[in-house]
Structure 1
Amino acid sequence: MSNLKKRTFFLKSAHLDDIRLFSTRWVLSYLKGPLKRDEIASLMKEQKVLQNTEIESITEPREKNEKFESIQNIDVSIPQYYEPDPTLEHNYLATLMAKTKVHFYNQSKGIDEAHTLWLSLDLPSTLQNIRWEEARELDIDFENFPHTKPSKAKFQALPSLVLNDKGLKKASKELKENLYRNQSLELQRCISPKLESKVGESSSDFIVRLQDLLSDKKETEIEKLQVRYAKKEKVFTTRLSRANERVEKESSDSTSSMIEAGIAVIGALFGRSTPTKIGRAFKKSSNILKERGDMSRAEERVAQIHEDIEALEYELEDKIDVLNEKYNAENCEIEDFTIKPRRTDIEVEACAIVWRIV
């Protein structure tokens, strides 16, 4: 077993009459190597969610610190929506919500993508500054909420900076600036070969696509190698054929000489050979030694050619291993890059006070 060549396997099966050896070009290992950062993040995602849930559970509820009033003096230019309350208690907390559209465009990279974001920001009565970076993304279309204020409803007091912002123009402007600074498309690219991820393509899918490209390049390189080494192997095969023919010829000549020498010696013993024939017999004997030496050298030549062919096979396998390493996606330099939106491609379609039930 220890003498088996690389990627050569020993097969013993109840369905076969004999034991066989087979080889394969590729060997796939299911052993997982060191985890990458994105893989660690994926594994720890649930733990982070649980941790954040625990933090939120020990935070004092916002409504306990708020006073509720039945009358709100809000400028008519500020849109308001009311979340339906199935409990009919109609106690409302104020939130600032916005519907935005961010357009990402890059002609050279073939990117033309629009994202719609629904953002929600709590508005405690003590709020001094609007920080849109603290807003949460929601899947709630507040424009479907009713505009009419429920009867006997009680509301949390609004902060003065919101009451003084007619039409919420300042809040919308700050939101647009915040989106310009913080919104981007996160993409990946490989330096060599040049390849970039697509919009919405996960890191793992990008690696798979990159590996497919590398595999195609590797197959092309391997085919070129095999063609080149096939020519070299053909030269060695021709030499081996000639060397084997030489061994057969030397073996045949040696056998003939031994037979002739034997006949001459037997004839001399029984008195049927002349001195001349006996001399020729001794000469044949000396030729036998020479021919044996020639045959030994011919056999050594055959053995040497076999070693050369085997060395050529190992050399080819080593070069294929180098190509496997070269065209492995794990060895490629991959970097993150972003596509930023233009200011003109950011639109705040709606911004309003949305009263959410307690």
Structure 2
Amino acid sequence: MPDQPMPDYEKLGAFYLGKVVDPATNQPTDDLLLYDSTDLTTHAVIIGMTGSGKTGLGLDLIEEALMDGVPVLAVDPKGDLGNLLLTFPELAPGDFRPWVDEAEAARAGVSADDLAAQKSELWRRGLADWGQSGERIRALREKADFAVYTPGGSAGLPVSVLKGFDAPPPEIMDDADALRERVQGTVTGLLGLLGIDADPMRSREHVLLSNLLGHAWGQGQSLDMGGLIAGIQAPPFAQVGVMPVDSFYPPKDRFELAMSLNNLLASPGFQAWTQGEPLDVGRFLFTPQGKPRVSVMSIAHLGDAERMFFVSMLLNAVLAWMRTQSGTSSLRALLYMDEIAGYFPPNGNPPSKPPMLTLLKQARAFGLGITLSTQNPVDLDYKGLSNTGTWMIGRLQTENDKARVLEALQGATSGPDALSRDQLDALLSGLGKRVFLMHNVHESRPVLFTTRWTMSYLAGPITGTQIKRLMGERKASAPAVGTATPAVPSASASASGKPVVPPGITEVFVPTSHPDVQYHAQLLAVTQVRYASTKYRLDVAGVLPLVADVTDGPIPVNWDEATELRVDPNALEREGAAGATYSDVPAALLNAKNHAKWAKEAAKYVAGSRPLTLWQEPGSGLISAPGETEGDFRARASLAGREARDAAVQKLRAKYASKVATLQDRLARAQLKVQQQQAQAQQAQLQTAMSVGAGVLGALFGGGRRTTAIRSGVSGVGRSMREGQDVQAAQTEMMQVSQQLQDLQNQVQAEVDALTLTASSDLVKLDVKARSTDVTVPLVALAWLPYTRAANGMLTPAWDGAEG
């Protein structure tokens, strides 16, 4: 690359992907390739054979998104995207040493330490050539959180996929098409995991499981695997369509399906699918503190059926999350899928394809950008990719691949500046390593560019052992997944039959679906509270169920240690689970007079110590919604800042649009005038030359017209000089107009660069207290909370909402 200062590429909303390449010379120019982040809301596809630089371009795109505060969810079938975690601000050899290939060192005849030093220097020089340094890497690491998940495996962070099939949010339940897609995708993926290739319309297995999920979800209930197996054996409905269940799917055949699922449940590897983070897209995109994340879903260790199952479940979860978001024209998040082959084929309809098609069609309205990457163009559904606005095409492997891409590009390009098939063919045929042809529907014509040096070290596919090394410390220090739950009782509490509860005390049971539970008695105070503030335009009411331990000491209840019970009070039951055991009950909890006193204490405690916490972003004044977590609000405030920035940029460009258009028109007319004056000057020079030539001949050979010819030649010389002066004047005018246009464009760019995101990293905490008259306590009860006991005696909460 040329040794010259790199122009500033840290533009708001601009992704620095590389430099423009001159197609005539195939050499990089000094023009930077800055890709507008909002263009990515119309999605992108990257195509290129092995060795084309496709992986580097994908990492560039993800790095730039993170630099702009945009979170990324990345699906990684081969292990290449784990390189995003190999970022070393110091660029020291010791940082590279654990990740160099020992075999590569042996082939080069050097030690691994020497190879690490070479890689360190290579990356330092490579970054410098592209105007980057360790400081930009440090900024990248400070702006984003990096994590590698290994669903169905233990190397990285675990993902809970099969713990249960949670009921979709209301946005899905109220949309018949969306609900059908969710049910169909879930069932198809699950049956695929069992090795059953089921047609949703013809397969008895598929129809039965779909009805079971639809029935449970329609009642607002989630299903775990045990509930699904029980439902297969004894369906909660009598008919499927117009046929009796037993006629449609005889009990003996249903038992075989139940046994297949039970065998899956009992298999040694099944537990890996039930532990870890729930399949919650919001948590994959942002930390609890609202910091943008890149969550790499590494699935290289899985078999084909397991990969398809997970990808289809993940895409359906993305769909569900997307439909709960507000509309926006700014880039909210990026879904990146590497090596899409097999998941989005031109023929067939695997369970991953319907949700991907829906995402490509609808995600733009929600600011979700999708980028797909593949080596083989023939593996893509080009009709589906008609919704893709940006194509980045690298070196292709075969003529068939090139023909397929040319066909797709011709269908996607139009307008007066569109290139012909021959022109596109010539460009694609001459592509070198790391050089791509970009077709962007938001630009007038395609452009060649070469990718910049990645900040991430490209170590090759990351293995399971390496993922374990990357995530080991994080897994060891990770807190238990889930929301706050009531304190777990002492494992030494005695257990026996249910104690007798005297009259006058309300007794309730927290529902559980677990067998063999042990109930522990705690005080439950269900409070109804209203929070109102004219200052913050707030008026919201809700139910706050609190549970607290009770002792027989002088202060039976310490309200400061009370915790929220994440269970709907309407779901509380009057009887416990069959076969359960019970702890002893403190004497104070069995005294009915205490319950009336505790109701007053609970109301006083909530009014004085349980404010509704809101968050305010000081730059914009934006305030969080009731119940919105700090992390969720930070994510929303960040998006609002990008929306405000993008709107300001559009407004600024619109402000100068007429001036720019006027100068462009003047420049076009000045260029035309120069061409006309040059033509006239050339004509005058030709006439002068002819006149002077005639005069010279006359002088040599005599004749009566000699004097007239000479005079005509002298006059022609004068005209030629005047025409030359006119050319110079026209050129001067053209240069002046061109400079005025350049100055105006520089002014516009300077004002764009001066814009900043309105969202601040510092939030203001706002506590809105409830008035004592706005707190009531309709229920105080002895509540039996279910727990399960492990072999080591540890107790674990066993009610829905206690985890995840």
Q: TM-score category by the smaller chain? A: 0.5 to 0.7
CA distance in structure 2 between the partners assigned to 1:272 and 1:287 by the alignment? 25
Structure 2 equivalent of residue 30 of structure 1:
62
Q: Structure 1 unaligned runs (5+)?
A: 13-22, 147-152
AA matched with 1:81 = E
State the AA in 2 paired with 1:341: A
Tell me if structure 2 keeps the 8 A contact 1:239–1:305.
no
Matched, 1:350 2:779: yes
Q: Which residue of 2 aligns with 1:150?
A: none
Asked whether 1:233 is paired with 2:664, we answer: yes
Q: Which of 676, 681, 691 is equivalent to 1:250?
A: 681
After superposition, the C-alpha distances for 1:278-303 in whole angstroms (9 at most, x for unaligned) are 76367348637844752663464266
Q: Which residue of 2 aligns with 1:260?
A: 691
TM-superposed deviation, 1:225: 1.8
TM-score normalized by the length of structure 2: 0.34
Alignment match, 1:172: 599
* CA distance in 2 between partners of 1:187 and 1:298 (Å): 67
Equivalent of residue 130 in structure 1, options 557, 567, 572 = 557
Amino acid at match of 1:178: Y
Instruction: Map 1:274-353; keep pairs closer than 5 Å.
Output: 276-277=707-708, 280=711, 283-284=714-715, 287=718, 290-291=721-722, 294=725, 297-298=728-729, 300-301=731-732, 304-305=735-736, 307-308=738-739, 311-312=742-743, 314-315=745-746, 318-319=749-750, 321-322=752-753, 325-326=755-756, 328=757, 335-353=764-782
User: Alpha-carbon deviations, 1:229-272, whole Å to 9, x = none?
Assistant: 22343444444444444433333333322221121112212222
Residues 1:314 and 1:131: Cα distance change in structure 2 (over 3 Å): same
Secondary structure of 2:557 counterpart:
coil
Aligned to 1:99, the other structure's residue is in SS state strand
Which residue of structure 1 aligns with residue 574 of structure 2?
145
Query: 1:81 and 2:190 equivalent?
Result: no
One-letter amino acid of the counterpart of residue 222, structure 1: R
Alignment partner of 2:493 out of 54, 63, 73: 63
What TM-score do the two structures reach when normalised by structure 1?
0.67
Q: Take 1:247 and 1:216, find their aligned partners in 2: how far apart are those partners?
A: 45
3-state DSSP class of the match of 2:493?
A: helix
Are the counterparts in 2 of residues 261 and 284 from structure 1 also a CA contact under 8 Å?
no
How many residue pairs end up in the alignment? 328
Once residues 285 and 354 of structure 1 are traced to their aligned partners in structure 2, the CA distance between those partners, rounded to angstroms, is: 112
Q: Distance in 1 between matches of 2:692 and 2:723?
A: 14
Please give the per-residue CA displacement for 1:309-356, whole angstroms capped at 9, x wherever unaligned: 662474266247427x43x45568764434332222111222233456
Q: Cα distance 1:30–1:49, how it changes in 2: closer, same or farther (>3 A)?
A: same
* C-alpha contact 1:82 1:355 (8 A) present in aligned 2: yes
**Matching residue's letter, 2:771:** R
Describe the SS at the equivalent of 1:179. helix
* Bigger radius of gyration among the two: 1
Contact 2:695 2:707 in 1 (8 A): no
Query: Aligned partners of 1:275, 1:154: CA distance in 2, in Å?
Result: 133
Unaligned runs of 5+ in 2: 24-32, 41-60, 68-142, 146-286, 296-473, 576-581, 788-804
CA distance in 2, matches of 1:207, 1:132: 36
| Aligned residues: CA RMSD | 5.1
Match of 2:529 among 102, 109, 113: 102
Q: How far 1:93 moved relative to its partner?
A: 4.9
Change (3 A) 1:41 1:315: closer
- Give, as a single letter, the amino acid of the residue that structure 1 aligns with 2:687: S
